[in-house]
Structure 1
Amino acid sequence: MAQVNAILTDAPKGGVRYGKIDIRDEEGANAKLEPVYTGICGTDRGIVSGSLQFAYNPQGYSSLVLGHESVCKVIDIGENPYHIRPGDYVVPVVRRPGDCVNCLAGRQDNCSDGNKHEAGITGMHGFMREYFYDHSDYLVKVKDPSILDVAVLTEPTKNVMKAFEVFSVVSKRAIFHNRHSTLTDKRAFVIGTGSEAFLYALMCREYGFETVILNRHPIDERKLSLADAAGIEFHDYSKDFDQVTQGGIDLLIDTSGHPETIFRFMRKMNYNGVLILFGTNGKAPGAPLDGSDIDYIVERNITIAGSVDAAQVHYYQALEYIRKWRYVYGKAFASMITGVYSPEETDIFSRKPAEEIKSVIKW
């Protein structure tokens, strides 16, 4: 049993505090880790506000340690086949497997019975604590320590890698590319302007899409600079919806979880279009969907796919793209980290700065 300082909540009731908690030693854990940075996302804020009823404390605990986005320093580690040594930096995997066939195959992101656990979310303590012990099997090494300032973005980026794996599968139902076998005249729209939305937009650009990122209000200069550096258009769709949707949409990615907005853009999708749903917002109001909408989806062969979490392979892919984007876009990419806070500044879980892309806690 170890007593550590941690950022705590009581899931699913919510609330947040920084204090001490006694945590039992993890069975089989062979690595001691100290967080360097932990990221704050909408899931953390949803748990703190009590709006995510699927979150729950670990068995036998009245509190949950928050935090699923992390980059950590290895303090000590036993023998392992991954060439991880003390002093290395790693990203811990968030979702841990249950007993279904997908989990046993290393694809707990596609868990088919719901018996997996997610660090800082469902039944497993997260990474927002002064140190913790973990299994080397669930650590992904950061091979280039020069990207340490942005490596905390690995967890949200691995979601993007998984979603594009889904896209690569479902887009094969028809010939999606143009007659030159490219996507250069295809249009990808990303709803939202948070960190996940920008990461999705950057990946759309990797595929060659003409890429548009959307919100219903203006965005600040930092976000505009990042978009400009990557060749991404921004549009305030409250002002120019009809103009921006001329020509239709081939790939639509939602990070908002807002049904009305999703359906509005869905009705502008081209034949054989793909809609990827990633954002979740259980408290978002409903929106009408009638028979003509179903006709539109069916007659245009539109594919709608949900995507959640990712497998370990996607963490490795994410680190490679983060490394590339850090060097290609330089300070513009690093500017995604818009605020650095101490563990004691727990009010950041209850408020979202207007200019925020990604807020992190430095340990």
Structure 2
Amino acid sequence: MLTHSIKEICFFKLRYILIGFILFFVAALVFIINGLANGLAAENISSLKNMNAEAFYIAKDANNRIEQSRFSISDVEKISKDDRVEPLGLQMLSLKKSGSNQKVDVTIMAVHPKGFLMPEVTEGKSIATSKEPQLVVNNSIKDDGVKIGDELYEENSETTFTVVGFTEKETYSHTPVAFISLKSWEDMLGSQVKPYYNALVLKNDNQVVKSDVKGSLGSGVWVSTDDVIKGMPSHQAEQTSLNMMLIFLIIIAVFVLGAFFYIMTIQKMNQFGVLKAIGAKNGYLIGTTMLQVFFISVVSISVAVGFTKLMQMLLPSSMPFIFNGVLILTYAGILMVVSMLGALLSTVNIIKVDPLQAIGRVE
């Protein structure tokens, strides 16, 4: 059966290459969109995902959105000092690069310089606890020409920040995160509005600490990191749109591949009839067809996986693309199942073929 399947593929090379190309392009498109979806998700929420946090205490009416939550600094200071819970300030700003008119969009995150919310610095040094406004920024800001020692000016508060270090994989809402000290945050807001913090962040699940915070503030609610991520409208909209595209691609693949396999089966009706006339059973003919489809699917999908991996290496670093092996293999398995089902539906014609009529049509 296997030998017969391979011989037929070699004999009708063009026919099977065409089907293989169709499956390759569909699979490659599914894998690339999946990589873009993962990349966009990471660029949108990586700072929250990487944050060493168990839960966030935010205002009840904030709809799980940190940027819409506010607690006055005086209220936050009521909470007893505990290294398991820290205040967090968050604001999206445009900073002007000193000596030019260039502006860079960043998300400011105010954290304790030596606290658990401060990420690892990969280049340069960490922010100081002194009054001097300093920044540790995600390294993606280098694409805007920002380097260590540069000064970034915030116009509203008339504050000049000095870039002292870089971190990585710290982005929020598609902007690089810039970490500043709590003191710098209070000074920056002091010239605009009444200073506030957006949330309190709990390092590990602790009911005593949660009760203490709720008893001191009383105007908020504890939510998990996943709930905060779900509360970001841009994240939900992006992922829903891309997932819908993937679903429709797979549905389209069902019909396209099913149609191709059906046409291929119709073209071989005479051949099937002759084989039946000389004693071939339906099981043998169906098995041969399924083996051919399996072989083509494995080769085409494997090449598509390799092509997607190559695309990841060739795409510029500014392109949000993540090759997630587990998800890629999952979608590869789904496409394999789709291919086999499409081929299986077309084998109904093999069972129906009449050997006598087929022999009569043979020239």
Which range, TM-score by smaller chain?
Answer: under 0.3
Structure with more contact order per residue of length (Cα contacts < 8 Å, sep ≥ 6) = 2
Question: Per residue, is there more helix in 1 or in 2?
Answer: 2
With normalisation by structure 1, the TM-score equals: 0.24
Question: Per residue, is there more strand in 1 or in 2?
Answer: 1
Structure label with greater radius of gyration: 2
With normalisation by structure 2, the TM-score equals: 0.24
